[in-house]
A and B are shown apart, each in its own frame.
Chain A
C-alpha cells in the first residue's frame, strides 16, 4: 500500500491569509485526488491531477502535481471561514486510500 503523508496536520489561520498544504509519497502516483470533508459529512472531491507538473485552479484553490508525480500541494488564497474543514489527498487503483489529512480552521 502506498503511504501518503500530509502536512501540516493542523492549521489555524485568520480570514484573508494564504496557506499551502502538502501531500507526499515515496512512490510515484498514477493519479492523485484532493477531497474536502466538513464536520458531520463524508468527503467531497475537489480535484484530480494526473500529469506531472499539472496545475489546476478551482476559484481560490490552486492544486499542483509534482514533476516526478510523488508529491502534490494545495494552495488557498485569501482563506475564508467557509474553507474550514479536513483536506485529504488520496490515490486510487483497485484500492482508494487516503493520507492522514490536514485540518484547517479559518477564523473570522
Chain B
C-alpha cells in the first residue's frame, strides 16, 4: 500500500521557471492538501481540496495553482518560481465526510525545492 506519493523528491529551479509537483494517493481519500515548510517552521497550508473538481485557497496561496481532476491526484503548479518559494513541500490526504474533524492525515515524503 503506497499511501501518499510525491514526485520529485528534489528539484532545483531557476527564477522564473515553472514546474508541477505531483501528489498521488491510493486510499480513496476525499480531502487532499498542499503545505510548505520552511526551515525550523511548522506547516503552512497552500491549497486544499475536499473532492474531485473542488479546490480552495489556504493560508499562503499566492504563486501556486492546483487542480483536482481525479480523487487520486492533486498536482501543485508553480507558475513563475521565485527564491521565496524555496522550501520543502508536503502533500497530505485524509478521509472526509462527517468524521473530517477527527480523521488522520497521511503525508508524503516531501519535495525539497530550491529556487536560484
CB distance from B94 to the nearest CB of A (A): 7
Q: Does B74 contact A (CB under 8 A)?
A: no
Q: How far is the CA of A99 from the CA of B45 in the complex (A)?
A: 11
Q: Which residue of A lies closest to B110 (CB)?
A: A42
The reply to whether A95 and B45 contact each other, CB–CB distance below 8 Å, is yes
Query: What chain A residues lie within 8 Å of B100 (beta carbons)?
Result: 92-94
In contact, A96 and B107 (Cβ under 8 angstroms): no
The residue that A93 contacts in the complex, of B4, B101, B108, with Cβ under 8 A, is B101
Residues in B with CB closer than 8 Å to A97 are: 45, 58-59
Q: How many A-B residue pairs have CB under 8 A?
A: 75
* Residue of A6, A31, A41, A96 touching B45 (CB-CB under 8 A): A96
- Contact string, B7-43, partner A, CB cutoff 8 A, digits 1/0? 0000000000000000000000001010100001111
List the A side residues contacting B50 at CB < 8 Å: 94
Q: Which A residues touch B58, using CB under 8 A?
A: 95, 97
**Taking the nearest CB of chain A, how far is it from the CB of B34, in angstroms?**
11
**Interface assignment of A26: CB less than 8 Å from any CB of chain B:** no
State A11–B106 Cα separation when bound (angstroms): 26
**Bound-complex Cα distance A61 to B29 (A):** 29
Is the beta-carbon distance between A92 and B40 smaller than 8 angstroms?
Answer: no
B79 at the interface (CB under 8 A from A): no
Interface residues of B in 63-116 (CB under 8 A from A): 90, 92, 94, 100-110
Chain A residues near B109 (CB-CB < 8 A): 40-42
Contact flags (1/0) for B40-56 with A, using CB distance below 8 Å?
Answer: 11111100101000001
Chain B residues proximal to chain A, CB less than 8 Å: 4, 31, 33, 35, 40-45, 48, 50, 56, 58-59, 90, 92, 94, 100-110
